[in-house]
Structure 1
């Protein structure tokens, strides 16, 4: 069956690249102890390839792919609102029902599958974003910058507060492993827990980690909301739909990379030179890199628009994007089965080069199944469930 006539192919391609790229960002969260995100020495390094992959991910991937995902989610909010208005429906009711169902999906994803869920956060912030959906692009950009500024202030305050805990060994010993300090007993305990049974992992999430989705919303919410607003502006201005002149996309890519990559490399060097000191690590990954994550996200988007081209590969990536919801949740199911104890139990046993091979293999699966499914059906399977539960699914020809 052909895709919806009003779909924007450039957005589908960008969404496909984003959902594939976010696995590259999240693979460490699926497969490695928590502290390894901040400190590659939290697990055994296997030669220069491990460190090189960590540097490349820190500079180009971590945080940037999540920002692209947020950009596209913001654009999607406007598309749904605009289509509801065009169909004569109450756009507020349509949007809030979609976000309510998404929140339930997100909480189920977190508690039943994986602690790294972003859907709950998107649902809450997407509800708030609706109230500025009618603003002009310039106003949306100003609001986005305000969100990022507030996030930077709060993050810096939190960083300085954590640094002050060094004076209290008892408090520091509790928090340090969570921000990259190498604590071998704690790492061994985490690996042992991840090799446990499904009921044991579920019990941990609904007890110890019960409030984590809400803590993540507070910790990352302003940055995520800011990127959603940038995405709304990007849709309204035409940036995300590929209609700008190619020269403007080249300028965005060149300026973004020229401004951000040298600074990100210096931050990586600082972390390495510090011996991956926990406070330095937290600072470079959350605070000092903040101005450059949106720049790189926009540069990645501009480059993707430039090189997407036409042909079979573009068609398959667009299909991945059309089924992005299914691919996102399906990836969590695949990865947790691969790495957790109730599956193959590979948690903590693969190095970063081996994990990169897992990512590439998963990309191949996405590219193969998505197009095959969408050649026969209008929506991805979980997209259909989401639309049906939210009351926004219409059979072809029923409008």
Structure 2
């Protein structure tokens, strides 16, 4: 089958399996934000000097996990957008109406997730990106890759320019008037990311409080954060989604490439991306985890290499799915991927209940490395419950609700029992 040929709508086990890995992987990226004050997400020294194992965990996360799992989720969102649009067209429904209805309800789900469950929501951002993605649906894989470039340039250029200005201000390289204007930005950045941030204790107290106090904080002090996140991350997310659409049209995500080609891409991406990511991790360590260094390394300088390693992860996962994984493993991963929306939201509910004060109250008391035990537990739950659920029902619970709302009609849920 030639590349860039339209993919017929339907279940693609390879795409679902990669999505299953992505929804598990994004927990490995987010677990610190669930369990520790936000400065600890980027800074292993926030809250005090890190142990050797916690530092090693942060180093591994920065190089191999952080941004890569979100990148994988974003790539797959772009690919899935094409599938949904094509499915609507083949079913005789209005593709634009079907797509924009889905994005409208996804935005509402995202806002509910943010204000009522967890502040790290990505669904609202994805819904806003989805409003633009429809415009690119008919482009070739090559054109999609070309269009991703200006989005990445803006996504890298904006934080990189701010990082450069802050670095110059720290070094005394700006005129006095300009330096004075940067002091508030420096103060806020140190509060959010620095090694001796004053917000660490405040966040611990907040998230060990009641559900009402947490929601009240989000709906007041954090009320505008969803729009802020869109302004900050839309450019990178759009670039990744366009790449995902291109990789889907080029047949990479459908599993149609030869095994040798997946192997070649995985090796090349890892070999190119890992050395600069290691150097950026060392740069942050040698700075003493300075807030400006963390900002520059995490939100600007790492983006090209994060993106490359994201593609490398997808190539490696596809290689393992095609050459190593058993049918049972593929089916379990694919089921977790088909229920990615439900698994993502349920993960937030479970993790906030474990760590926040209205649940078990473990917030701030578990070390960075030990948090992966909670990841392993949640991954096991996803794999154990997704396939049995889908053996009985057409959709995951939240997928069913999203689909019913988007179509304006209750969708069939339970599968008919097999004829004896």
TM-score of the two chains, using structure 1 as the length reference: 0.95
Partner of 1:34: 38
1:340 aligns with one of 356, 362, 367: 356
Partner of 2:12: 8
Distance apart, 1:305 and its partner CA:
0.5
Change (3 A) 1:171 1:218: closer
What is the rounded CA distance, in whole Å, between the counterparts of 1:101 and 1:10 in structure 2?
A: 27
User: Does residue 312 of structure 2 align to residue 299 of structure 1?
Assistant: yes
Distance apart, 1:310 and its partner CA:
2.8
| 1:124-273 equivalences in 2 (<5 Å) | 124-163=128-167, 166=170, 167-168=179-180, 172-183=186-197, 185-273=198-286
Partner of 1:70: 74
What is the rounded CA distance, in whole Å, between the counterparts of 1:258 and 1:213 in structure 2?
A: 35
Partner of 2:398: 382
What is the rounded CA distance, in whole Å, between the counterparts of 2:69 and 2:166 in structure 1?
A: 27
Distance apart, 1:60 and its partner CA:
0.4
Change (3 A) 1:128 1:171: closer
What is the rounded CA distance, in whole Å, between the counterparts of 2:411 and 2:13 in structure 1?
A: 21
Question: Do the aligned partners of 2:400 and 2:411 also contact (CA within 8 Å) in 1?
Answer: no
What is the rounded CA distance, in whole Å, between the counterparts of 1:243 and 1:43 in structure 2?
A: 48
What is the rounded CA distance, in whole Å, between the counterparts of 2:335 and 2:24 in structure 1?
A: 12
Change (3 A) 1:90 1:171: closer
What is the rounded CA distance, in whole Å, between the counterparts of 2:225 and 2:151 in structure 1?
A: 22
After the TM superposition, which of the residue ranges 162-171 and 95-104 deviates more from structure 2? Answer: 162-171
TM-score of the two chains, using structure 2 as the length reference: 0.90
Distance apart, 1:164 and its partner CA:
5.7
What is the rounded CA distance, in whole Å, between the counterparts of 2:354 and 2:47 in structure 1?
A: 19
What is the rounded CA distance, in whole Å, between the counterparts of 1:262 and 1:165 in structure 2?
A: 29
What RMSD in Å do the two structures reach over aligned CA positions?
A: 1.8
User: Which 5+ residue runs of structure 1 have no aligned equivalent?
Assistant: none
Distance apart, 1:311 and its partner CA:
2.2
Partner of 2:377: 361
Distance apart, 1:175 and its partner CA:
3.0
User: Does residue 99 of structure 2 align to residue 99 of structure 1?
Assistant: no
User: Which 5+ residue runs of structure 2 have no aligned equivalent?
Assistant: 1-8, 171-178, 416-420
Question: Do the aligned partners of 1:35 and 1:182 also contact (CA within 8 Å) in 2?
Answer: no
Partner of 1:314: 330
Structure 1 SS opposite 2:357: coil
Structure 1 SS opposite 2:392: coil
